[in-house]
Amino acid sequence: MRLRRNGNLTILGSIKSWKSLLDLKRKDQISTAALSTSTVTTTGRRRIPAVFNLVRLYSTEELQQPQLSVDLIKMMEQRLSSIENRNAHLQRFLNQPELTPSEYSTANKELRKLRDSVHLITELRAKQKEIQELKSVISECQDDKDMQKMASEELSEATEGEKELQLLLLKSLLPKDDADERDSILEVRAGAGGEEASLFAMDIFKMYEKYSAKKGWKYEVLEIAESDLKGYKEAIASISGSGVYGKLKFESGIHRVQRVPVTEKGGRVHTSAVSVAILPQADQLDVKLRNEDLKIDTYRSGGSGGQHANTTNSAVRITHVPSGITVSIQDERSQHMNKAKALKILCAKLYEIERLRFQSSRSKLRLEQIGSGDRSERIRTYNFPQGRVTDHRVGITTHSIDDVMQGEDLDTFIDALLLREEMDAIASFSST
């Protein structure tokens, strides 16, 4: 065993960067002011303001890592042992020559799901072994004060590393929302504010389009209802990619804008509101959609789309009779394509209703997402005269409003909300 002579903490590659920053802040090795003005350069991204905003705007007590009780660690160890045993069983099973392709595929899929947890468990076991060896060194070197001091420093670092790994493993064991990996339906609607609300709805809709492009997601416009000034009274899109719903789910709610409208002659700042809904995508099998539950009407579409679109019954309205939900699509010239889009949206709405019905508890954050569209029920404010965007749920403000609207700095808020959700789940897990 090789003892390191310096006292610098080695940050594991799997630990997120904000943790190391918070550790430094708690140890007063860097100031809050320095954090709030620093810039981090990473591959494929210009900067990561979310890390610094979190350190600056969250109190140390609020982001304090939960203390893992002895009982909680025992519970977790039992679960880790079962994962290790299952991993070993699957390894042996896959080595059997008489496996059918179906059996091999099923077992290999389960093994892949365990891979990240097994990797962390391996790191934890190695760290625990290191701790035991260091304790032996300290016990055997009673007369060598220098060696004892070095070993004690190493033991302190190793113990901190063990706690970090235990916390990461705890997070991996927390209940996960199965919908997080699904694609999403985005709905943006103009609320209070007239034409200005419609124009801002268009800006928000395009903001998510740019953010999706940045993430490499597919963004498909399903329906747009334009206002007189070519804003969006309502706009719906399908967003497809890896973990889309899990990333965007906290964007649901009321987005408020404060700016001088293009129709304002006196230069006064107006306040308008836009509602955003993020729904996990589903199909007819997920919601058990029956033909007898659907009322389908066709009619001639209005607005743009060409002569053919306005002279044939290409628009489709589908009503789900049991729930009363109605979806209308007239975006495409083809009645078949409009029907397919309408069914996609309807399935997402029904799936969300069913999913929430079976959730025994929903976080306070999730409950606050739904509003009526009134400007007083806000989750985020975009103040253009001051160049700032504030998320009222986590108290984070950025003064790069242009970057947010271009989809560049939206992760400032998304990452903070996901972090809050994670910490709430850990605190709940620790208290049970």
| CATH classification at residue 351 | 3.30.160.20
Identify whether residues 137 and 101 lie together within a single domain: yes
| Residue 128 domain-assigned (yes or no) | yes
Identify whether residues 106 and 146 lie together within a single domain: yes
Identify whether residues 268 and 324 lie together within a single domain: no
Condensed to tens digits (0 to 9), the pLDDT of residues 184-201 reads 999 999 988 789 999 999
CB 56 within 8 A of CB 35: yes
Q: Where are any strands of DSSP class E within 285-415?
A: 294-299, 315-320, 325-329, 380-383, 388-391, 396-398
CB 312 within 8 A of CB 332: no
- Whether the predicted pLDDT of 425 surpasses 80: no
pLDDT, average across residues 273-300: 84
- Whether the predicted pLDDT of 347 surpasses 50: yes
pLDDT attached to residue 19: 38
* Helix 101-140 with 70-94: angle, nearest 10 deg: 130
| Residue 56 domain-assigned (yes or no) | no
pLDDT attached to residue 67: 61
**CA–CA gap between residue 388 and residue 402 (Å, rounded):** 9
Domain count of the fold of the chain: 3
| Residue 383 domain-assigned (yes or no) | yes
Identify whether residues 168 and 144 lie together within a single domain: yes
Domain boundary among 338, 362, 386: 362
More confident residue, 75 or 157: 157
**DSSP three-state, residue 285:** helix
Condensed to tens digits (0 to 9), the pLDDT of residues 307-344 reads 444 556 788 899 998 888 998 888 777 888 888 888 88
* Residues ≥6 apart with Cβ < 8 Å to 93: 99, 107
| Residue 50 domain-assigned (yes or no) | no
pLDDT attached to residue 312: 67
**CA–CA gap between residue 394 and residue 57 (Å, rounded):** 9
Identify whether residues 110 and 241 lie together within a single domain: no
| Residue 6 domain-assigned (yes or no) | no
**CA–CA gap between residue 423 and residue 124 (Å, rounded):** 21
Give the structural domain span for 105. 70-173
- Whether the predicted pLDDT of 183 surpasses 70: yes
Banded model confidence at residue 266, pLDDT cuts 50, 70, 90: confident
Identify whether residues 233 and 155 lie together within a single domain: no
**CA–CA gap between residue 47 and residue 221 (Å, rounded):** 29
Which of 42-56, 61-75, 137-151, 190-204 is least confident? 42-56
Rounded to the nearest 5°, which phi and psi values hold at 107?
A: -65, -40
Which of 71-75, 86-90, 159-163, 244-248 is least confident? 71-75
| Residue 89 domain-assigned (yes or no) | yes
**DSSP three-state, residue 316:** strand
CB 270 within 8 A of CB 193: yes
Identify whether residues 160 and 225 lie together within a single domain: no
Please give the share of the chain, as a percent, with pLDDT higher than 70: 74
- Whether the predicted pLDDT of 40 surpasses 90: no
- Whether the predicted pLDDT of 15 surpasses 70: no
- Whether the predicted pLDDT of 286 surpasses 90: no
Q: Order across the sheet with 294-299: list the strands.
A: 294-299, 315-320, 325-329
Banded model confidence at residue 358, pLDDT cuts 50, 70, 90: low
Identify whether residues 82 and 169 lie together within a single domain: yes
Identify whether residues 227 and 83 lie together within a single domain: no
Banded model confidence at residue 181, pLDDT cuts 50, 70, 90: confident
* Helix 17-26 with 49-57: angle, nearest 10 deg: 30
From the list 186, 210, 202, 185, the residue with the least C-alpha distance to 404 is: 210
Tokens read off for 257: 């804008």
Please give the share of the chain, as a percent, with pLDDT higher than 90: 36
* Residues ≥6 apart with Cβ < 8 Å to 168: 14, 15, 120
Tokens read off for 317: 């309205």
- pLDDT mean across residues, the chain: 77
Domain boundary among 146, 173, 200: 173
pLDDT attached to residue 397: 92
The one-letter amino acid code at 366 reads R
